[in-house]
A and B are shown apart, each in its own frame.
Chain A
Amino acid sequence: MGKRIIVLSFLAVTLGVISGCGKEEPKPAGSGQTETPVFVKSIVSVERRNDAAGTEALLVPAGAVFQDGQLSGVHVVDKEGRVSVRWVRTGRPENGFLVILGGLDAGEKVVGSYEKRLEEGVQVKQQASVPQVLETKEVQSNE
């Protein structure tokens, strides 16, 4: 009898610990907001294009790049739609776009126009299903 109680309480404790662990399990940052994704004007992919002079370069819309002191950054959107800050090195502007010298790969998704309210780990969605490139161009022309 006594033994059984010990076994049971042991089980209880273990279960408790395990379930406790589950609760404490690190959630990806910012997952609290998972349910309500933030809508952004556009999400565009980083393009590899020939620039004016004919050399290959990575381009993002100029509006996607923000400045934090001396650091230039963009908001990268990962596969799950989560935002993270990426520091980049920018080159010359090319009609509404900026050449990216380091920090991004072609094909990566970035938030098309920088929004200050976006925080690391927030889930984002594009506002409307307007074709991406058009959208960007609109943004550019608005400025």
Chain B
Amino acid sequence: MNEGIAGRLAKQFINSKITPLLMVASLLVGIIATFMTPREEEPQIVVPMVDIYIPYPGAAPSEVEERVAKPFERSLTEIPGVDYVYSTSMPDFALVTVRYDVGEDTEESMVKLWATLMKNMDKMPQGVQMPLMKKVAIDDVPVLNLTMWSKSKDPYQLRKTAMDVADELKKTENIGDVEIKGGLKRQVRILLDKQKLLQYNVSALQIARQVQMANSQMPSGDFKQQNGEILVRSGSFLESASDVGNIVVGIYGASPVYLSNVASIVDGPEEVSNFNFFGWGSASESKDRGEYPAVTLTVAKRKGADASVLAEKVVAKVDQLKGSVIPSSITVTETRNYGETATEKVFTLLEHLIIAIVAVTIVVGIFLGWRGALVNFVSVPITFALTLLVYYLLDYSLNRVTLFALIFVTGIVVDDSIIIAENIHRHFAMKRQPKLQAAITAVSEVGNPTILATFTVIAAVLPMVFVSGLMGPYMSPMPIGASLAMIFSLLIALIVTPWLSYRLLKVEDGGHAEYDITKTGYYRLFENILSPLLDNSFMRLIAFAGVGLLLAGAIILIPLKAVQMKMLPFDNKNEFQVIVDMPEGTALEQTARVTKEIAAYLKTVPEVSSYQYYVGTSAPINFNGLVRHYYLRQAANMGDIQVNLVHKGERKDQSHDIAKRVRSGVQQIALKYRGNAKIVEIPPGPPVLSTIVAEIYGPSQKEQIALAKEVKRVFAETPGVVDVDWLLEDDQKVYNLVVNKERAAFRGVSTEQIAQTLRMSLSGMDVGVLHADNVKEPVMIQVRLPQSDRTSLRDLSGIFVQSQGMGSLTTRLRAGEMIPLSELVRVEEKIQDKSIYRKDLRRVLYVTADVAGATESPVYAMLDMDKKIQQIKVPGGYRINPLYTSNPAVEDKLAMKWDGEWQITFEVFRDLGTAFAVVLVIIYLLIVGWFQSFKTPLIMMIAIPLSLVGIIPGHFIHGAFFTATSMIGMIALAGIMVRNSVLLIDFIQIRRQEGAELKQAIIESAAVRTRPIILTSGAVVIGSVIMLFDPIFQGLAISMIWGGILSTVLTLVVVPLVYYITEKKSEKTVQEAKKS
């Protein structure tokens, strides 16, 4: 028999001394690689996103849009590689977000972007300030959050301690950004006394100027003297509050007016700008039910660093600091540790791998005896070791995506070894040849079809690399890892397995009868099943009809919604977030109160271990928040609650179920105060603005808002659609102080003076930095009115500005006279202009929602709502047909487009579908190449649709969604099933060449091949069982298990039958030729 590559390889290595060395070496490098590869929670996804802030103080949103956002957007779309351009025009500034095609080089994109920005700066109107460009990177997401809270210390002291700790932590190797959330900064506050100012004839502006001028120091030069140089320095910095108080701000009569005469100077915490509290939940061991002021220290890591190592180091360091830098009255609680979760994930995977390997070994053991099992048990870990090594070399980190790839291949990498070992075992049992010869013959016999089969499986998974969009980076480790693992497993099957089999498998002694295939149980089985079908064409027809019915029955489950499609199900996380949005214009304290009430409710949920809430400042972001711009949530009307659950091993419900359970309670509280609260879970896949997003386009903002209102109502009415909101601010009252130009001119006061005085009085103005020793954060000196003096319009009347005199148009007025503001301005009350959102150069309004409960998949909710949206009456009397994949063609009519998770779902299933089509073609080509027939490959590929018979009902039985991972399972299964057919038909052809009659050859080969086919499919099934309990991988497991079982059984019957039908004619001619 022709040995082929497989046989030759086996011959080379079967007795070589190098083989065991190779085995040991591979194992060792694999183990080392496992420990060297950095571990982290999220995959290293380059979020190709850049935020550009363009300040344009004083401009209304419409002006910002017209003068700043629009021209920038237009020039940005010229840059190649730019995918989307979003902009938000707010009062005083524009935020432009640029999204690149995934995979673009970040540095290069930044440079291009900067160049474009600079090119257009000259076109910007007067008053536009320097833009700020910020790259949004995955490594900005903190891997470790340490919340420091105390029963006796206040936010000011907490922040100071946190600063000291942060300073120490920064010394740690590989640490990224260390940030402090919450607490109050040190500030020197100059609280103006209105009466005194008037009395001493000093204005606020004058004070600001004097403080700025007093706070300077400068080298003046040097004297050269007697061969030496003496440096001269002049001025001095303000170093303490008393320094500030002693500044002379004016002259009254003949005596100087000190700042302390007209203002009180406080060196201490800034005015309360945020509320940040920590509390234990019901599930914690602590019975303490109070809540305490807290600050959160967030630690990010450097790119490429190992999250778990860094987290360990930081935690150890913090432990060291306890007692010295951290007083015993401050408790440090870990409120996020991605290092730990990453390590946990890695170990769960290793556990899964070992369980899978042991399970497969046991199955093999049942069929081939313990010696055969041992052969597999040794060869599988070597495959994994090599795959891990390649991951390390390719700079992948061990994260939830790469680990998924490894779990995914567990079932399929054992196959090659099983097939080879099984055949060697069979040949040893047949005892037709001496042992060494038998082993090589066995390898040659199945080796080449195995090589072909391996490449079909690779061909099946590899096209997944081409999934585009944000989902791409989530997918690519899978095909790459799986393909490499397959190649390694093939090499090992051809090199190591024969070596091991030759030594481990025994040729049983004793006078066995000559091996006869017809006496085995398999043969009798197939004789009974196949013979009647082969002989009787009517029976055959019934069999085909039966299979066809099964297939149709399975597929119909999808339109019947018995099996629902969803992109990715929610993972079982140990945390979720609550986002509280109060109407714009809500006071910080009111937001804090609502947030606190929600937190108090969440505290009673039995699974909650602890919570922190952040009002007026954003919570530490996660990957989801990064994409949704949650780090900008710093206004007084916004609050975030970070809820930590007990470890998933200690609770029954999954995090998604808990989130669903608490949703209505949380929303009721928020609603009571006219607020909106959303439960935000960390999505398993790429984050989007919201699960359901309706983009509303239209000719004017007014019409857009009207339509959005209707759409929002439809959302709210649809069962299963929750957390409905829109990106539109509520009406906020604005007092517009209009300066009376004439009067101001006559009085010698400029508009700028008035504006600055008002700003200084109300929001305060930083006039310098305190140059004190030993401060970790800059201490600002701020001039402002005390809080009790700036509560109403009436308070403004007490504010005076100083006449410039000289600059005034009249000479009757002497300079320096104090003029009350109320004389110069007129108050207009109005509503704050709304922000203007634009996407890809079109004005847009977003209505957002989530799905939970009645329906979990956004697509069904969207289809549901489509009908209702079409019934909405719009001016002009046309229908709104929600768009799915394209932007509206015209802008003068109202239009709506679905976005959110749908966009990604659409892209992924489109790309996967295309990939699958390409897969089929490649597999076809491969088999044509091997069998040199156009017909045979088609027969083999019949097995592919047959897998649906198992996959879809499988999802129905488990009540699971058909997800992207299910689809991946289906694609991989296609490769595996074709492999089975290849092995089957290859053997039939070998037997026919040896002279067997067609029917005999079919039954015989079915009998001979059943064992390896059941073994390999069994390995896939058993290897996948462990994944059934993971919410994300469940779909993959169901596809592999049910698809595997059903299509294996059907393949063994249907493929031989179809082969028989197609070959019947040629068989006749062969037989006739023989006869004649």
Contacts and interface: CB of A to CB of B under 8 A. Distances in A.
Of the listed residues B271, B290, B794, the one surrounded by the most CB atoms of chain A closer than 10 A to its CB is B290
B305 interface: no
A26 B794 contact: no
Contact of A69 (B154, B791, B792): B154
Contacts of B157: 69
Interface in A65-86: 68-72, 84, 86
B509 to A, nearest CB: 49
Nearest to A86: B593
Contacts of A89: 272, 587-589, 787
B773 to A, nearest CB: 23
B885 interface: no
Nearest to A32: B287
Interface residues of A, number: 29
Contact of A103 (B592, B604, B789): B592
A93 B789 CA distance: 11
Contacts of A120: 289-291
B293 interface: yes
A57 B113 CA distance: 51
B155 interface: yes
A29 B787 contact: no
Given A70-B154, A70-B156, A88-B589, A101 B289 contact: no
B789 A26 contact: no
Interface string B594-618: 0010001001111000000000000
Contact of A101 (B184, B275, B291, B587): B587
Contact of B788 (A53, A70, A99): A99
Contact of A92 (B153, B587, B588, B788): B788
A67 to B, nearest CB: 9
Contact of A26 (B184, B592, B605, B788): B605
A102 B587 contact: yes
Of the listed residues A53, A55, A70, A103, the one surrounded by the most CB atoms of chain B closer than 10 A to its CB is A70
A71 B289 contact: no
B590 interface: yes
A129 B723 CA distance: 46
A28 to B, nearest CB: 7
A24 interface: yes
A16 interface: no
Nearest to A54: B794
Contact of B269 (A25, A69, A90, A119): A69
B282 interface: yes
Contacts of B588: 89, 102
Given A69-B157, A120-B289, A29 B269 contact: no
Nearest to A73: B589
Given A69-B156, A99-B788, A30 B589 contact: no
Given A24-B606, A91-B791, A30 B154 contact: no
A28 B603 CA distance: 9
B589 A70 contact: no
A25 B604 CA distance: 8
Given A99-B791, A103-B592, A70 B184 contact: yes
Interface string B766-796: 0000000000000000000001110110100
B788 A90 contact: yes
A31 B791 CA distance: 39
Interface in B641-696: none
A71 B596 CA distance: 15
B794 A55 contact: yes
B635 to A, nearest CB: 14
Interface string B561-597: 0000000000000000000000000011110110010
Of the listed residues A53, A72, A92, the one surrounded by the most CB atoms of chain B closer than 10 A to its CB is A92
B587 A90 contact: no
30 contacts: A24-B606, A25-B606, A26-B282, A26-B606, A29-B600, A55-B792, A55-B794, A68-B154, A69-B155, A69-B156, A69-B157, A70-B184, A70-B272, A71-B154, A72-B272, A84-B596, A86-B593, A89-B272, A89-B587, A89-B589, A91-B787, A92-B791, A99-B788, A99-B791, A102-B589, A102-B590, A103-B590, A119-B290, A120-B291, A121-B289
Given A70-B270, A101-B787, A102-B588, 17 more contacts: A53-B794, A68-B154, A70-B154, A70-B268, A84-B600, A86-B589, A87-B275, A89-B588, A90-B787, A92-B791, A99-B791, A101-B587, A101-B791, A103-B587, A103-B590, A120-B289, A121-B289
The 8 closest A-B pairs by CB, nearest first: A69-B154, A102-B587, A103-B589, A29-B289, A102-B589, A92-B788, A26-B604, A70-B269
